Structure 1
Amino acid sequence: MPTAVIDGLVTRYEVAGEGPPLLMFSPGGFDATLEGWRTVGVYRRLGLLDRLTRDYTCVTFDRRESGGSGGRLERVSWADYVRQGVGLLDHLGIERAHLMGGCVGCSTAAALAVAHPERVLSMVLYSPAGGARYRMKQHARFTRHLVYADAEGLEQVVALARGSDAGFTADPRLGPWVNVIRRDPEFADRYARTASDRYYTMVSGMVRLLFDRDTVPGPEPEDLIGLDVPALIVPGQDDSHATSAARFLQECLGHAEYWDVPVAEQTAETAPARIAAFLGGVPAAE
């Protein structure tokens, strides 16, 4: 599978299908790999990627710190995720694209549209992650990691990562850089030697920056309100994908269509067809 160096980090990606470009921000949180479109929850059930590749050039990729992509020990922000997406468009020579986010990928898609509206034809925001319980779960996960790292040391975090195949979501002790630790021995060595006070400050600041609200994290509401990019919003309905999060996007995005259908009625027949109808109605790039 091809890779590209973007913002100094390796990005693993795949291009499939023919037609207008569709850049897809994977579901899966801190394990947001391109395979997630076929293996994670609702996306596996709906078969969205296989349907969309019939009419679109679908660009999927591993988010930084996930899967086969690289990572860097720093206070990661939404702007960092945006740079990866824009850099991949540049690498592929794509001037403008439709965007699609699944789960927390919706936050990066919306943030990219705010930062670079001239690069975006439209957005599909499928089951956006957000809500009060989602924020609380993310903060609790990072807290459990920091408690373990403080008690056992970062060398033990590395040892735990190498002795397990779990991700940060399944085992918070492992932290958000677990995939990079396993893949990159030099990174793992630098990670283990990081000063504990510096690490605590960076990670505690990272979670506060990424998950700072009880709705969809990412771009500010005032920036969303000022955005004129067409969008389709499809609601989720659980503790990590609160319906209120989708309604928040509907409130803020003035050029949005809201598909008001319960998750149980989002099927392999209805959902791909609804997305295709939306994308097909967006004017092509000039």
Structure 2
Amino acid sequence: MTQITANGITLEYEDYGNPGDPPVLLVMGLGAQLTLWPMELVEALVARGFRVIRYDNRDIGLSHKFDGVKAPGIVKLMLLGRLGLTPRVPYTLADMAADGVGLLDALGIDKAHVVGASMGGMIAQHIAFTHPERVLSLTSIMSTTGNRRLPPAQKQAIEVLTKRPVSDDEDILIAHGMKIARTIGSPGYPPDETRLRANVTAGVRRSYYPEGLSRQLAAILADGDRRARLKGVTAPTLVIHGEDDPLVPFPGGKDTAASIPGATLRSFPGMGHDLPLELVEPIADAIAGHTRMAAAA
């Protein structure tokens, strides 16, 4: 365990590569531990000359838990959003962005290339428009803008992600985790079942804390439409998105790229809402190429 105090809470993190290399901060998504960043992608980025830091967001994995703090229900949050009202939630995406900046502070890092996936992309967007002086470049992966006119997630994708398993028995939790991965994953790159089971098992044994997901989801729904704020992003931005994403459909990536001045969109056919091994090298190449262009600008 490697923990550090940042933004007033304890965050679990892992740090790879040469401390003197340009830092890349990896920010993971809803209910997902830092281990959902494939180690192969971490190693690919290190091999390309980066210091890579991945961490557990608040309320997940081995980071600080907000035990006993209740979040409003999804229906109430969606209704308030449609009425243009901002609900009270345990914490916000801005708070989670401050966690990432606090981690950089604690590690003595002035600026970093910030890479976020799904909710992590939303958090990375917040870092970019709230703390622009800390961001060398932004990469938003399989994320979106909060624009309510965009196509919603496929019904089966949102249901499997938000449905609680029938018990906390390890076998049931593993089966549930595998079902999530198959449902929201890449149809063009189905996972190897042995590797998938091993990864899900390791995740369950590392931490199982479903209560955090409801509070993180509340933070997403309360954040509203970020398009106006994204217009103020000054960091060079790359948007990566799967063309077959059932959870955050491809138009969300298009809208993100269209909302950030000068952003580049890179899409992958057959990619869903995951980071399949077959795309690790192309994604690492895309991030590395983007950061080189940002450094040269």
Q: Give the TM-score normalised by the residue count of structure 1.
A: 0.68
2:27 counterpart letter in structure 1: F
> 2:79 is matched with which residue?
none
1:248 maps to which of 232, 237, 255: 255
Partner of 1:154: none
1:274 correspondence with 2:280:
no
Structure 2 match to 1:42 = none
> 1:164: how far off?
4.9
Q: Give the equivalent residue in structure 1 for 2:137.
A: 122
2:22 corresponds in structure 1 to 20
Q: CA deviation at 1:68?
A: 1.0
Q: Which residue of 2 aligns with 1:200?
A: none
Gaps of 5+ in 2: 70-89, 181-202
Tell me the equivalent position of 1:258: 265
| Residue type at the aligned position of 1:230 | P
Partner of 1:8: 8
Aligned pair partner of 1:57 in 51, 58, 62:
51
1:154-198 Cα deviation digits (max 9, x unpaired)? xxx9xx55x55839x8599xxxxxx9xx979xx9xxx9xxxxxxx
Paired residue secondary structure (1:22): strand
Whole-angstrom CA distance in 1 between matches of 2:265 and 2:153: 21
Q: Which structure 2 residues correspond to residues 82-101 of structure 1 after superposition, within 5 A?
A: 82-101=97-116
1:104 aligns with 2:128: no
The one-letter amino acid paired with 2:51 is T
1-structure distance, mates of 2:264, 2:144: 18
Query: Deviation at 1:142?
Result: 9.5
Structure 2 counterpart of 1:256, one-letter code: A
TM-score, L = length of structure 2: 0.66
Alignment RMSD (CA, Å): 3.7
Q: Distance in 2 between matches of 1:95 and 1:135?
A: 40
Measured at CA, do residues 35 and 90 of structure 1 come closer, stay the same or move farther in structure 2, by a change above 3 Å? same
CA distance in 2, matches of 1:140, 1:226: 34
The structure-2 alpha-carbon separation of the partners of 1:222 and 1:66, relative to structure 1 and needing over 3 Å to count, comes to: same
> Percent of aligned positions with the same letter in both sequences?
25
Q: CA deviation at 1:10?
A: 1.8
Query: Separation in 2 of the partners of 1:99 and 1:135?
Result: 28
Q: Using the TM superposition, give the Cα deviation of residue 7 of structure 1 relative to its aligned residue in structure 2, in angstroms.
A: 3.2
1:24/1:143 CA distance change after superposition, 3 Å: closer
Correspondence for 2:152 among 130, 133, 141: 133
Q: Which residue matches 1:44?
A: none
Helix, strand or coil at the partner of 2:279:
coil
* Aligned-residue offset at 1:139: 7.6
1:227-265 deviation per Cα after TM superposition (whole angstroms, max 9, x unaligned):
211111111222113101100101100121111442459
